[in-house]
A and B are shown apart, each in its own frame.
Chain A
Amino acid sequence: MDPIHVGRLNHAYGDGELRRTVLRDVSLTVQAGEVVLLTGPSGSGKTTLLTLIGALRGVQDGSCQVLGRELIGAAEGERVALRRRIGFIFQNHNLLGFLTARQNVAMALEIDPVMPEGERMARAGAMLAAVGLAGHEERTPAHLSGGQRQRVSIARALVAGPGLVLADEPTAALDRVSGGEVAHLLRDMAKSRGTPILMVTHDPRILGIADRVVAMEDGRAVAAAAP
């Protein structure tokens, strides 16, 4: 079963006269372990597609199967459960400012209150070391650089061993060098775990990390190009 299988997906915002279709007949498959980049002009619907696949928004029409679950008609509880199996990386790091790097990463493990505290902390620490932040565990986001914060985000997205990583322009807020570092780190970490990635990016410099690039235009997935 493919981690992502989207078929003839349509999505519209608004009602009545204000109704605007932003996704039209989108079909997209991401295979196990695959790194797929989603590009396209602003407003073409990339983020919308990502929120539907990430179960952050209700699916209206078509089919959207993620990690073996059909999301059309899925209840809020099912969507929450699915989100726990997905690692999210946002454009802005979205770390919690009052928590240390380690505590932020551990938040992805606290959802499962059964895991002992010590194990959570150990796993979070190991994951931070894996993203190159050993020694920075006890810093709060305010005391980390932009690139370091995104690495914490990567650690948080991966620490619970998700079946899929979704990222929306994770390098947009970073300079060229740290953007490249973050993109490659994410790709490497996911690859080593066999975790598929669907990443939206405008950044042509990181297209090289992709197994496949899907371009979107005006709500349609227009081309599937090899990088």
Chain B
Amino acid sequence: MNALTKPSLLPWAPEHGREAMPAAAPPTGTRPEWGAWLLLPARFAWRQLRAERARLLSAMAGVMFAVLLVFMQLGFRSALFDSAMQLLSVMNAELFLINPQSPAVTQPEPLPRARAYQALAVPGVTHAVPIYLAQAGWRNPRDGSRQTIQLIGFDPDSRAIRADGLDGLAPALRRIDAVAFDTLSRPEYGDIPALFAERGPFEVQVDNRMVELVGLVTIGPSFAADGNLMMSEVNFRRILRERQPSNTDLVAIRLRPGTDVAAAQRRLRSIMPPDAIVLTHAELMARERHYWETATPIGFIFAFGSAMGLIVGMVIVYQILFSDISNHLREYATLKAIGYATGYLARVVMAASLILAVMGFVPGLVLCVLLYEVVAGATFMPLTMTIGRAALVFVLVFGMCAAAGLLAMRKLRDADPADMF
């Protein structure tokens, strides 16, 4: 025979002889490792990702980009909606009257003031407060520039609006040409809180009238108004002389404590002519939000922006996974040749995409919390991170990466084990 029977004579025999050889036995498990079905491919994916730092970092950056974009879009969107609701949310009344033709409170159609007196006839109604809204020109007392500001006129003793600082100001606001300034108004109005702290009450020009700024209240700017001035009904009409005194914009109805709101609403409905609808506070808020969400392109713009972020992120992740598979086709084919089923490789790709989702999301979230603060500081918009939004974005980005993984997976078919030899 030949050398095969005398292996010890072989000049090339390795130092480690047969003694060291483990007995060949088919792999038999003693205890099943639960989760191995997913954990092993995930570990494989992680090792593969980790091996190419530059690629991993660019994939993370791609996911982070999508995370940031979607967070910013959703943040702006809800900040705008929240700010559009700002004035309504400080209203302190159970029921409201509004002209059904008014698309939103800030774009009111005239509501006959007489509806407020009619409402007072309904049992349980203690106050029916006409609220007047208008935009006017504000002269910045520091540099003389002109800014549009929202005027809110109502009876300050009625407590129909609950704004910090208002309670103590009611007597002052009853004086002729007295107004209160919203401290949360944007700084373009001339840093009024500082000025007021310095000088106390001072004169400012609103449209063509000089009025006295007698105090500060806290409401917050809205999408429709960068700042607010509050005043009595009388003073409102003195500034806006062209307004029909017989019309108002909104009537806030307060009920005696313990009154059945639904019953009062039904009673009011039955007596109101068609130019007034009766809404609860929640209904009014919902109506307002519905307007901003649907009648304006805002909702669409931000949904579109979010979708763009997700699509761009998906393309980036897809690109990276795809080229990853292309570059490792031989390795994937090797795995197929030694007995790995395509399903295992598919789980590897899926795991890689989901690892990228997590690795991009976490730094993206941290960065976003910081960015929210910066942007909120610059725009005075109520931008805050909420658990709900973080969860939503995570789900979206997870889905985005999973979709990229599913698309990239098709490339696995090109790994042909028959090409291995």
Residue numbers of A with Cβ under 8 A of B are 35, 47, 50-51, 54, 56-57, 77, 80-81, 83-86, 88, 90-91, 94, 96-99, 103, 107-117, 119, 123, 126-127, 129-132, 134, 151, 156, 158, 160-161, 168, 177, 180-181, 184-185, 187-189, 191-193, 195, 200, 208-211, 227
Which of A80, A96, A151 is close to B334, meaning CB atoms less than 8 Å apart? A96
* Cβ contact within 8 Å between B421 and A35: no
* Cβ contact within 8 Å between B18 and A111: no
- A90 neighbours in B (Cβ, 8 Å): 334, 337, 420-421
29 examples of A-B residue contacts, CB within 8 angstroms:
A57-B418, A80-B336, A80-B339, A83-B338, A84-B338, A91-B421, A94-B334, A98-B47, A98-B50, A107-B335, A108-B339, A110-B40, A111-B340, A114-B28, A114-B36, A115-B27, A116-B33, A117-B33, A126-B21, A132-B16, A134-B20, A161-B27, A184-B12, A187-B7, A188-B18, A189-B21, A193-B24, A208-B2, A210-B2
Tell me the smallest distance from the CB of B1 to a CB of chain A, in Å.
Answer: 8
Q: A111-B339, A132-B15 are in contact. List 13 more A-B contacts (CB 8 A).
A: A51-B421, A57-B418, A80-B336, A80-B339, A86-B339, A107-B338, A114-B28, A115-B28, A116-B29, A126-B22, A180-B11, A184-B12, A209-B2
Whose C-beta in chain B lies nearest to the C-beta of A77?
B341
* Cβ contact within 8 Å between A188 and B330: no
Whose C-beta in chain A lies nearest to the C-beta of B39?
A113
Residue B363 lies at the interface, judged by CB distance under 8 Å to chain A: no
Which parts of B399-413 form the interface with A (CB within 8 Å)?
A: none
A96 and B335 alpha carbons, distance in the complex (Å): 9
**Known: A88-B337, A98-B47, A111-B339. Contact between A181 and B14, CB under 8 A?**
yes
Whose C-beta in chain A lies nearest to the C-beta of B7?
A188
Across the A-B interface, give the 7 residue pairs with the lowest CB-CB distance, nearest first.
A114-B29, A132-B14, A98-B51, A84-B339, A113-B36, A181-B12, A161-B24
* Cβ contact within 8 Å between B338 and A168: no
A123 and B27 alpha carbons, distance in the complex (Å): 10
- A80 neighbours in B (Cβ, 8 Å): 336, 339-341
Residue B4 lies at the interface, judged by CB distance under 8 Å to chain A: yes
Residue B378 lies at the interface, judged by CB distance under 8 Å to chain A: no
Which of A114, A134, A184, A192 is close to B10, meaning CB atoms less than 8 Å apart? A184
- A103 neighbours in B (Cβ, 8 Å): 47
Which parts of B315-357 form the interface with A (CB within 8 Å)?
A: 330-331, 334-341, 344
Which parts of B1-56 form the interface with A (CB within 8 Å)?
A: 2-4, 7, 10-16, 18, 20-22, 24-33, 36-37, 40, 47-48, 50-52
Main secondary structure, interface of B, reads loop
Which of A109, A129, A177, A187 is close to B16, meaning CB atoms less than 8 Å apart? A129
* Cβ contact within 8 Å between B3 and A209: yes
Residue B137 lies at the interface, judged by CB distance under 8 Å to chain A: no
A214 and B41 alpha carbons, distance in the complex (Å): 40
Which of A110, A116, A132, A187 is close to B4, meaning CB atoms less than 8 Å apart? A187
Residue B165 lies at the interface, judged by CB distance under 8 Å to chain A: no
Tell me the smallest distance from the CB of B36 to a CB of chain A, in Å.
Answer: 4
Whose C-beta in chain A lies nearest to the C-beta of B343?
A80
A56 and B418 alpha carbons, distance in the complex (Å): 5
A129 and B418 alpha carbons, distance in the complex (Å): 30
Which of the listed residues A114, A127, A180, A209 has the most CB atoms from chain B within 10 Å of its own CB? A114
**Known: A111-B339, A116-B30. Contact between A227 and B2, CB under 8 A?**
yes
Tell me the smallest distance from the CB of A123 to a CB of chain B, in Å.
Answer: 6
Tell me the smallest distance from the CB of B337 to a CB of chain A, in Å.
Answer: 5
Residue B417 lies at the interface, judged by CB distance under 8 Å to chain A: yes
A132 and B192 alpha carbons, distance in the complex (Å): 83
* Cβ contact within 8 Å between B331 and A97: yes
A11 and B204 alpha carbons, distance in the complex (Å): 97
A-B contact count (CB 8 A): 152
* Cβ contact within 8 Å between B18 and A192: yes
- B26 neighbours in A (Cβ, 8 Å): 160-161
A180 and B21 alpha carbons, distance in the complex (Å): 20
- B417 neighbours in A (Cβ, 8 Å): 56, 83
* Cβ contact within 8 Å between A211 and B4: yes
- B33 neighbours in A (Cβ, 8 Å): 113-114, 116-117
Tell me the smallest distance from the CB of B345 to a CB of chain A, in Å.
Answer: 11
Whose C-beta in chain B lies nearest to the C-beta of A182?
B12
A132 and B16 alpha carbons, distance in the complex (Å): 5
* Cβ contact within 8 Å between A130 and B16: yes
A6 and B25 alpha carbons, distance in the complex (Å): 27
Tell me the smallest distance from the CB of A41 to a CB of chain B, in Å.
Answer: 16
* Cβ contact within 8 Å between A88 and B420: yes
Tell me the smallest distance from the CB of A75 to a CB of chain B, in Å.
Answer: 12
**Known: A98-B50, A116-B30, A185-B12. Contact between A168 and B421, CB under 8 A?**
yes
Tell me the smallest distance from the CB of A119 to a CB of chain B, in Å.
Answer: 8
A168 and B419 alpha carbons, distance in the complex (Å): 12
* Cβ contact within 8 Å between A209 and B4: yes
* Cβ contact within 8 Å between B3 and A130: no
* Cβ contact within 8 Å between B22 and A96: no
A77 and B340 alpha carbons, distance in the complex (Å): 10
- B13 neighbours in A (Cβ, 8 Å): 181, 184-185, 188
Whose C-beta in chain B lies nearest to the C-beta of A181?
B12
A188 and B52 alpha carbons, distance in the complex (Å): 38
Whose C-beta in chain A lies nearest to the C-beta of B21?
A130
Whose C-beta in chain A lies nearest to the C-beta of B335?
A107
Whose C-beta in chain A lies nearest to the C-beta of B51?
A98
Tell me the smallest distance from the CB of A144 to a CB of chain B, in Å.
Answer: 14
